[in-house]
Structure 1
Amino acid sequence: MRKRYIVTILTALAVVAYLALDDHQTTIEIVAQDLIDQEPDYIIEKLSAESFSKNGDLTQQINAFKATHYPKDDITVLEKPSIMLYEAGIPKWGVRSNTGHLLQQKTIKLEGSVIVVPLSPQGGDFSLTTDSLNIDLVSQIADTNDKVVIESDRSELLATGMTILLDQQFVKFKSQVRGRHDPKAQ
């Protein structure tokens, strides 16, 4: 009877050991798949990409020092992006920053020394700077909650947060708006 207990205990230990090893193998497979999912599927140096409307008009051009695409979430990380937004094939806005995240080819989140300038003559002669800016490329709306500085030869405007309707060239400031204007400056 003692031999039966020993055989039963050894069998139980063998089953537990097998299940523990099998569970460890499954964990390794899950971790390995997670690591694979976090890997980029392509990296492009000196990216230049253009998008066109259904009519064939150029709508946007994105240039970057480097672009790394992660397929799991369809995110492209951009280094030193430069973006030109067009309306009916005519350049309207130029945007630059240190980094950017292009999300599902629809939204771009820019960070670090973001600069926005109008490119059309009727857009005015000014520059807009902020720390971060989110641009919905479909609806042509740019938004930030950070400090914004708009400068021209004659004036300076400071605000916290803004929304720009890029296609209408309309800006709405969110709070703490202050301005300075020098009519004598040229």
Structure 2
Amino acid sequence: MINRLHLSFPLILLIIIVLLTFWLDQAVQPAAITQDNEAYRHPDYIVENLSGIRMDHEKVVSRTYFAEKMFHYLNEDITHLEKIHFMSTQPGKPLMRMVADRAELLGNGEDIYLTGHVTILRGSDDEKDKITMVTSFLHLIPDENIAKTGESVTISRSNTTIDAIGFELDNRTGMVQLLSRVRAVDK
């Protein structure tokens, strides 16, 4: 029996060392990075009361924005903004302002999705032809100067109110295309 114990002791010691090595390897490995990881559910940074501008080569301000809060998420290239105000001031074009409860910017802002109570004002406050548009969702494509939605929209200008489902606004040409169920009321 002592002879058997003498032969099996190195085998038992080898098994213990292998198990201990496996356990130590698992203990020192970093946590696997997954979408469900707790670190990815929280923003990697938060900014409050921020503003920014975009200028062209002639140092003319073309766009400005203000937001109460900004949240950026590490696992996606998405930025969330709360209480957002956009303003587009391009030479020769009417002033365009957009206000929304929330915004989601994808990538470097090539696509911006406004949600909540979204209001678009085209033209200055003192212009008689100022246009006001109200919807619950708006997709902005800033580089193309396009704003569009498939949701219901109410458009007001002077004494006229128009209700429709879906629209596309091209700010370069000033054209508004209403997509369906258009109903106009003249006051």
TM-score for both structures, normalised by structure 1: 0.79
CA contact (8 A) 2:151 2:166 kept: yes
- Post-superposition CA distance 1:110-153 (Å, at most 9, x none): 11000001124779223111111111111111121211111234
Q: Which residue is equivalent to 2:4?
A: 2
Provide, for residues 34-93 of structure 1, a one-character-per-residue CA deviation record: whole Å limited to 9, x for no partner: 655666454332212110112221110001112233465443321100010111286521
Residue 163 (structure 1) aligned to one of 136, 159, 168: 168
Aligned partner letter, 1:149: T
Q: Percent identity?
A: 27
The alignment partner of 1:175 has SS state of strand
- The 3-state SS of whatever aligns with 2:28 is helix
The question of 1:57 aligning with 2:60 is answered yes
Alignment partner, residue 146 of structure 1: 151
* Residue 109 of structure 1: aligned partner: 113
Contact 1:59 1:89 in 2 (8 A): no
> 5+ residue gaps in structure 2?
none
Contact 2:87 2:98 in 1 (8 A): yes
Matched, 1:134 2:139: yes
In the alignment, which residue of structure 1 is the partner of 2:123? Answer: 119
Specify the SS of the correspondent of 2:172. Answer: coil
The separation in 1 between residues aligned to 2:70 and 2:128, in whole angstroms, is 30
Q: Indicate whether 1:45 and 2:45 are aligned.
A: no
Query: 8 Å contact 1:62–1:82 — kept in the other structure?
Result: yes
CA contact (8 A) 1:84 1:92 kept: yes
Instruction: Determine helix, strand or coil for the equivalent of 2:31.
Output: helix
1:82 alignment partner, one of 81, 85, 89: 85
Paired with 1:89 and 1:68, the residues of 2 have a C-alpha distance of: 34
Runs of 4+ in 1 over 6 A off after TM superposition: none
2 CA distance for matches of 1:30 and 1:15? 27
From the superposition, tell whether residues 123 and 138 of structure 1 become closer, same or farther in structure 2 (CA, over 3 Å).
farther
2:81–2:104 CA contact under 8 A, matched in 1: yes
The 8 Å contact of residues 58 and 89 in structure 1, kept in 2 or not, is answered as no
Give the Cα separation in 2 of the matches to 1:173 and 1:35: 44
Structure 1 unaligned regions, length at least 5: none
RMSD: 2.9
Amino acid paired to 2:114: L
Secondary structure of residue in 2 paired with 1:138: helix
